[in-house]
Amino acid sequence: MASEARQATADDLTPGGERRRDFLYVATAAFAGAGVVPVAWSLVNQMNPSADVLALASIDLDLSAVQPGQAIKASWRGKPIFARHLTPQEIADAKKVDIASLRDPQKLEDRTKAGNEQWLITLGVCTHLGCVPLGAADGEAKGDFGGYFCPCHGSHYDTAARIRKGPAPKNLEVPPYNFTSPTAVTIG
Amino acid sequence: MSFPWAKHYQPTSAVGKWMDERLPLPRFVYNALGPGYPTPKNLNAFYNFGVLAGVALVIQIITGVVLAMHFAADTRVAFDSVEHIMRDVNGGWMIRYMHAVGASFFFGVVYIHIFRGLYYGSYKPPREMLWMLGLVIFLLMMATAFMGYVLVWGQMSFWGAQVITGLFSALPVVGTSIQTWLLGGFSPDNATLNRFFSLHYLLPFVTFGVIILHVWALHIPGSNNPTGIDVKSEADTVPFHPYYTAKDFVGLGIYLIVFAAFVFFMPNSLGEPDNYIPANPLSTPAHIVPEWYFWPFYAILRAFTTDFLGVPAKLWGVIAMFASILLLFLLPWLDTSPVRSNNYRPLSRILFWVFVAVALALGVCGGAPAEEPWVRLSQVLTAYYFAHFLIILPIVSKLEKTKPLPGSISEAVLAKVGKGSGGAAPVAQPAE
């Protein structure tokens, strides 16, 4: 404790049992830390998608030429998009499935737009490790469930592009899209 | 290790004396690699592979810097710039093949180096730090090789980048953000290629730095040896130079002959033909596999096909693949037997060769398509891989009855010479 005879110094204890010097140490370290964090963050953040990548706008797809049973591939954000015109048989097959038995339970209606149930638009990106499944082009293997088959690690998707067999955890993702006319959609 | 009998550096010239008093670099080299570094005299050919790995890294750095003078890291021209190197740049075909084949050879010698350490117990006290730094180098090598393979921007490059960054998306909550951050977008594209080029240039120099620590850590206890027993007297050692510098140069000569044979006569034998097809983001090759040196780990990744314990199969695979390497950091504490060398551990020696066979078989599975019987086989082998380190080794190292150790390295050498030549051969002693 500081005696009345000498001047108080930064080493003297306060009534709370701390030294005034402790505050200087903590404040300096905190200030240095507060400086390092934003510098480090800017060095990390430069690797996140840049403005031009984020600005990748929506794309328009014309579906008028796609016959039932056919699919087209398009590229959106560097990823393939599958737009498939389902046949009545494929729609029936998709509806027949017991939803509770699915790994990622979704009805066909959840995966298409009301009134345009014959248009199945999904990303062509396997939800396992991101390969492009086969089945969109003519003559490609469609897998055991008549939808898509991923050749990388053998995931099978059904006619609603739901995961049925293999290592993939989720159904093929449905991107955000809207019909601008009965045969045209805007994706993104 | 500076044993009491290590020779002392004496500058002979006036220039040497002048230098020694200001920056004793020659003294440092003398003590690290010269006559000032006594080394066990019984090191066999498997002790060449550390030097070979170092040379392999130097070959990669030199050819890599040269290739970077002609390569353009832009998705529109990357593939063509590699073909430009192959066709137009003077000797470019050879430098490119040296770099590509060199990566395979680098991994080849490092795998032998690692298995050498596993057999002779080179990870045991007091060499744990040496072992762990080696694993850090191994991880850096894998990251570097992966990013280098992407630069060519062929089909395997592109889809390898997609799949390997996809591994991170398996992590809960933050996974997708990490993948997007690594790619710089939503799929492998120009941003990915650009940053991989920068990091592929950086990491070999980081590796080089860790190698300096690795060699430093080696020089504290000194080299292990095939008997696994410590150096006891001067008779157990020879000075590193000229005895092991000469031996290492012989090994290096053989290595370079084999390396040249591959570069000149079968440069594509270790690669995937699909990487001669330019990257196509809309079509995946039917059978994508990584380079051969990743196959065992790829097999472990793919061995997990069903969800269990509430964790999805995809995440299990990723955890298992990373764990298969990170587990090795714990090895010095899993194998508690005081006997280092498997030469004196009869049971452990058998298990070592079983493990080598399992690792090779995992490699075969990783290179095969994801179909039966390969998937089932990789599941069994993966289970054994983890059991070997987590269950078998700890138990065996406690229960095993080891063979008697020789009294000294010298005694072991003399016993071997005696057996080999009827005891008549004079034993070479280093000239004093």
pLDDT at residue A116, rounded to an integer: 79
CATH fold match for the domains B37-282 and B289-400: no
B300 within 8 A of B379, measured Cβ to Cβ: no
Question: Which chain B residues contact residue A128 at CB under 8 A?
Answer: 166, 314
Q: Chain A closest CA to B195's CA: distance in Å?
A: 8
Mean pLDDT across A157-184: 86
Interface test with B, best of A129, A132, A134, A150 (most B CBs within 10 A): A129
What residue type is assigned to position B68 of the chain? A
| Contacting A residues, span 76-115, partner chain B, CB-CB under 8 Å | 77-80
Q: What is the pLDDT of residues B400-414, one digit of tens each?
A: 999 999 999 999 998
**Hey, where are the domains in chain B?**
37-282, 289-400
> What is d(CA B130, CA B332) in angstroms, rounded to the nearest whole number?
11
**Chain B residue with Cα closest to A125:** B282
| Contacting A residues, span 25-84, partner chain B, CB-CB under 8 Å | 44, 47-50, 53, 73, 75, 77-80
Q: Do B288 and A131 touch (CB under 8 A)?
A: yes
pLDDT at residue A66, rounded to an integer: 84
φ, ψ of residue B73 in degrees (nearest 5): -85, 70
B287 within 8 A of B369, measured Cβ to Cβ: yes
Q: Where are the alpha helices (DSSP H) in B327-392?
A: 331-334, 346-367, 374-387
**Chain A residue with Cα closest to B286:** A151
Structure tokens of B116?
Answer: 């050498």
* CATH number for the domain formed by residue range(s) B289-400: 1.10.287.980
> Does position A2 have pLDDT exceeding 70, yes or no?
no
ipTM: 0.80
Question: Which chain A residues contact residue B189 at CB under 8 A?
Answer: 53, 78
Task: Assign a CATH topology to domain B37-282.
Answer: Cytochrome Bc1 Complex; Chain C (1.20.810)
Sort strands A71-76 and A177-181 into parallel, antiparallel or unpaired: unpaired
What residue type is assigned to position A77 of the chain? R
Query: Which one, of B167, B110, B108, B102, lies nearest residue B138 by Cα?
Result: B110
B239: left (phi over 0), alpha (psi -120 to 50) or beta: beta
Q: pLDDT grade, residue B251 (50/70/90)?
A: very high
Q: What is the pLDDT of residues B178-224, one digit of tens each?
A: 999 999 988 899 999 999 999 999 999 999 999 999 999 999 999 99
A84-105 as b/e, with b when 16 or more CB fall inside 10 Å? Answer: bbbeeebbebbeebeeeebeee
Q: C-alpha angle with apex A91: A90 to A93, nearest 5 degrees?
A: 60
Work out the mean pLDDT of chain B and round it to a whole number. 91
Question: Which chain B residues contact residue A130 at CB under 8 A?
Answer: 162-163, 166, 169, 187
Query: Which one, of B84, B106, B97, lies nearest residue B265 by Cα?
Result: B97
Question: Which chain B residues contact residue A151 at CB under 8 A?
Answer: 284-288
Q: Do A53 and B181 touch (CB under 8 A)?
A: no
A172 within 8 A of A133, measured Cβ to Cβ: yes
Question: Which chain B residues contact residue A169 at CB under 8 A?
Answer: 307, 312-314
pTM for the full predicted model: 0.88
Q: Is B371 a catalytic residue?
A: no
Q: What is the pLDDT of residues B347-391, one digit of tens each?
A: 999 999 999 999 999 999 998 887 778 889 999 999 999 999 999
Q: Between the CA atoms of A39, A42, A47 and A49, what dihedral angle is there, to the nearest 10 degrees?
A: 170
> Does position A3 have pLDDT exceeding 60, yes or no?
no
Q: Is B248 a catalytic residue?
A: yes
Catalytically annotated residue among B236, B248, B272, B335: B248
Residue B49: enclosing H or E segment and its boundaries?
A: helix B49-68
> What is d(CA B266, CA B413) in angstroms, rounded to the nearest whole number?
40
Structure tokens of B209?
Answer: 């730095």
Q: Where are the alpha helices (DSSP H) in B120-239?
A: 128-151, 155-168, 175-183, 190-219
Q: Chain A closest CA to B189's CA: distance in Å?
A: 7
Residue B115 contacts by C-beta under 8 Å, 6 or more apart in sequence? B356
Structure tokens of A50?
Answer: 């840049």
Q: Do A47 and B281 touch (CB under 8 A)?
A: no
Considering CB atoms only, which of B162, B283, B302 is closest to A130? B162
Mean pLDDT across B322-344: 95
Considering CB atoms only, which of A151, A154, A169 is closest to B284? A151
Query: Which one, of B347, B225, B366, B349, lies nearest residue B291 by Cα?
Result: B366
Catalytically annotated residue among B291, B335, B348, B388: B291
Residue B329 contacts by C-beta under 8 Å, 6 or more apart in sequence? B132, B135
**Chain A residue with Cα closest to B182:** A47
The residues of A that are catalytic are: 153
Q: Is B400 a catalytic residue?
A: no
Helix (H, G, I), strand (E, B) or coil at A169: coil
**Chain B residue with Cα closest to A81:** B282
CA distance readout (Å), B213 to B113, B174, B205, B208: 17, 33, 13, 9
